[in-house]
Amino acid sequence: MCGIICYCGKRQAVPILINGLKRLEYRGYDSAGFAVVGDAEGEKGKSIVVKAKGRVSQLEKKKSGMEIGATFGIAHTRWATHGKPSEVNAHPQLDCKGKISVVHNGIIENYQELKRELEAKGHVFKSDTDTEVVVHLVEEYFQGNLENAVLRTVERLSGTFGIAVVHADIDHEIVIVKRGSPIIIGIGENEYFAASDSSALAPYTNRMIYLSDDEIAILTADDYHIKNLKNEDLVKKIEVLDDMELHVDKKGFEHYMLKEIFEQPESIQNAFRGRIIEGEGVSKLGGLEPVLDRIKKIKKLVIVSCGTSYYAGLLGRYIFEHLTQLDVEVEVASEFRYRRLKLNEEVMVLAISQSGETADTLAAIKEAKRKGALILGIVNAVGTAIAQITDAGVYNHAGPEIGVASTKIYTSQLVILTLMALFIGRYQSVSFMEGAEIIRAITRLPEQVREILDNAEQIKEIALKYAKYKNYLYIGRLFNFPTAMEGALKLKEISYVHAEGYAAGEMKHGPISLIDKNFPTVAIAPDDLTLDKMISNMMEIKARDGKILSVTNDNVRKVADVSDDMIIVPRTLPILQPILNVVPMQLFAYYIAREKGRDIDKPRNLAKSVTVE
């Protein structure tokens, strides 16, 4: 959601900014813009601002034919919050004289009172954005020193922000500040960058500094400085990212989502590589070792997350209940953070997040930390805010996920949840035999996922057959109830059709009234102890002329009898079966969305990284 890219160096800035914006597109946005200062000769006092509604390609079209030689500037993709997507509301926002430009991620919560105050002082506002107050405040406080003006501005702001500011009269200086929204500084050879995430900077440098909250960075032509808000210099560690962490490339696939679905054998392997000891039937999670003594005293686990990561958490509850003696609760982060919680040092709060940036998840763990709980994380994006705030955690090491609809990270999260539960369960009642059986099954998953992917053509044919429907019900029981919800979410995210995920047993309490020949059901019906009950539910649907597509295992005659179509997946242990069952659900959603001509990697209105609450 919203993306920032800044460049300060000796090369032409605009191509770098545009390229960076393209690499940030996946975060979700609906307008874009940039501001650069000076022409080819570095003329001062002149900023060139170009903005466009819609895609970065529109912005590119608007600037084509313009000779812009400037060698520093800031750029932004905006996901509309305050004010609809339009050129006026796009960033950069400018001050009254058109000298100062600001790009901003996040939300300024007190913008209305600030706006009233600034208008009373004569500032003229042009947009509906909350961001515009920032640039007018900087203008108000500017007395020749941009950094000081930004520092004074930040004192007045409440909310979350990542902000970058340039002034047309100040050569090669970009002032950047972070509170809540992510900002990374990229260190090149005599050139400096800033961006919302590392993928935007991948072509230019692998040396990054992750700004923490309330830090300010000043990029100049030949140096950079990082300070806190008291204006004290800070020395921050430069992280060197490896190829896996930076690599963003479709590798010949039509969409990132399809590439990521097909990457699952490797991403699952990466989730358990080096983290299992087969001979002891146990998992080894180095990231949790430092807090092991505390973990052993924990009585209750609360999992907090959003979106697909929330569905991973829902399944996590079943996995932890199965393997540990902990009481387990799962909560969407946006609700958890406002509840009256009974948290203490016997409670462990586990945040699950692909991006490591999701505003609600971040706020939830800050709240839990305040109340003394142990905070753990499962995070994919290294060094991000959620990873920084946790006491301990485990990285997915799955590489960047670009498609807005999460796929490879979901299955990776499920593997890690199982490893975490086993890690704790082996200190409790899980036996060596049970542990060894789970580990053996985990190691077979990559091959089994490959088997499903080899069957993609058949899944595609089924999807094309079903693509005409406007409503879908997904049902499952126990471990596969979350799979039903995740399957339905995939479909609605990228194909824009209505799909509901339900616990099969709840079907009779409402959704069954919707069933007719035009309302198909996807039944997740593996060959486990819940199968007979699933079959009963499927019969009830058949009796009402509903079509049934089932996801099941081979040779399950009773499923075949009640299904119109079937997708067969390999067998594994019931707690791991959802990892296999969800893969055809991802492909099914993908092929329906493709048939409908949807913008699969960047579906309308959605954002990859939801940095506002």
Radius of gyration of the chain (CA): 25
Q: How far is the CB of 1 from ligand G6P (least distance, A)?
A: 8
Closest to ligand G6P by CB, 307 or 435: 307
In terms of Cβ atoms closer than 10 Å to its own Cβ (0-12, 13-18, 19+), residue 356 is buried
Contacts of 417 (CB under 8 A, 6+ apart): 312, 315, 316, 319, 320, 352, 378
Closest to ligand G6P by CB, 8 or 589: 589
The pair of three-digit structure tokens given for residue 185, joined into one six-digit string? 């500084």
Q: How far is the CB of 406 from ligand G6P (least distance, A)?
A: 4
What's the DSSP call for residue 109?
A: T
Rounded Cα distance, 266 and 273, in Å: 10
The structure tokens 């089924």 sit at: 462
3-state secondary structure of 366: helix
Q: How far is the CB of 357 from ligand G6P (least distance, A)?
A: 6
What's the DSSP call for residue 480?
A: G
The structure tokens 């997904």 sit at: 474
Rounded Cα distance, 536 and 505, in Å: 10
User: What phi, psi does 544 have (nearest 5°)?
Assistant: -110, 25
Closest to ligand G6P by CB, 4 or 257: 257
Closest to ligand G6P by CB, 548 or 610: 610
Q: How far is the CB of 533 from ligand G6P (least distance, A)?
A: 29
Closest to ligand G6P by CB, 139 or 500: 500
The pair of three-digit structure tokens given for residue 374, joined into one six-digit string? 């142990």
Q: Is residue 259 flagged as an active site residue?
A: no
Of all residues in the shown chain, the one whose CB is closest to ligand G6P is: 307
* Closest to 308 in 3D by CA, of 198, 403, 388, 444: 403
Q: How far is the CB of 403 from ligand G6P (least distance, A)?
A: 8
Contact 88/59 with Cβ under 8 angstroms? no
CA 456 to chain centre: 26
Q: How far is the CB of 492 from ligand G6P (least distance, A)?
A: 12
Rounded Cα distance, 146 and 138, in Å: 8
3-state secondary structure of 344: coil
* Closest to 133 in 3D by CA, of 149, 160, 157: 157
Closest to ligand G6P by CB, 7 or 79: 79
Return the beta strands (E) in 38-171 as ranges: 47-53, 72-78, 93-94, 100-108, 159-167
Rounded Cα distance, 128 and 116, in Å: 13
Closest to ligand G6P by CB, 353 or 521: 353
What's the DSSP call for residue 233?
A: B
Catalytic residue among 22, 63, 99, 608: 608
**Cis before residue 482, ω within 30 degrees of 0?**
no
**Residue ranges in contact with ligand G6P by CB under 6 A:** 306-309, 353-355, 358, 361, 404-406, 606, 608-610
Residue at 483: amino acid letter: T
The structure tokens 């305040």 sit at: 370
* Helices 56-63 and 13-24: angle between axes, nearest 10 degrees: 160
Residue at 514: amino acid letter: L
Q: How far is the CB of 286 from ligand G6P (least distance, A)?
A: 22
Q: How far is the CB of 603 from ligand G6P (least distance, A)?
A: 8
Closest to ligand G6P by CB, 283 or 396: 396
Q: How far is the CB of 599 from ligand G6P (least distance, A)?
A: 13
Q: Is residue 306 flagged as an active site residue?
A: no
Closest to ligand G6P by CB, 112 or 605: 605
The pair of three-digit structure tokens given for residue 419, joined into one six-digit string? 């490893």
Please give the positions annotated as active site: 2, 608
